[in-house]
Structure 1
Amino acid sequence: MLTLQSLPRLVSSFLEGFRFPSLTSLNISIPDAENARPFPINSLILLLQRSQCELQHLVLKQVPIPRESMMNILRATPTLVSLVIHEPASYTHCITDAFSRYLMECSVLPKLEHVELVWSYDASEGCIIDMIESRVVKTVAYGGVLGRIVLGRRKGLELERSTIERVNSLRGRGFHILLWQVLGFCWKVLERAIRHHAES
Structure 2
Amino acid sequence: MMDVNQILLDMIKKCGSIETSSVNEIEELIDTGLEKNEENIQKAAMEYLEEKGYAFREDNLVRAKKHIEESSQYSDTVMVRKKHAMEEDLLSDIEDADVEKLTQACILDNLIKLNDKLDKIVNPHYQYAVEVLDDVLTDKDKPQASLQQFESFQQLLNRYADAGWHVISVTARETQNGRKLSMTGFSSTTKQVVVVFEHKS
Does 1 or 2 have the higher relative contact order (CA < 8 Å, sep 6+)?
2
State if a TM-score over 0.5 links the two structures. no
Between Structure 1 and Structure 2, which shows a larger proportion of helix residues? 1
TM-score by length of 1: 0.18
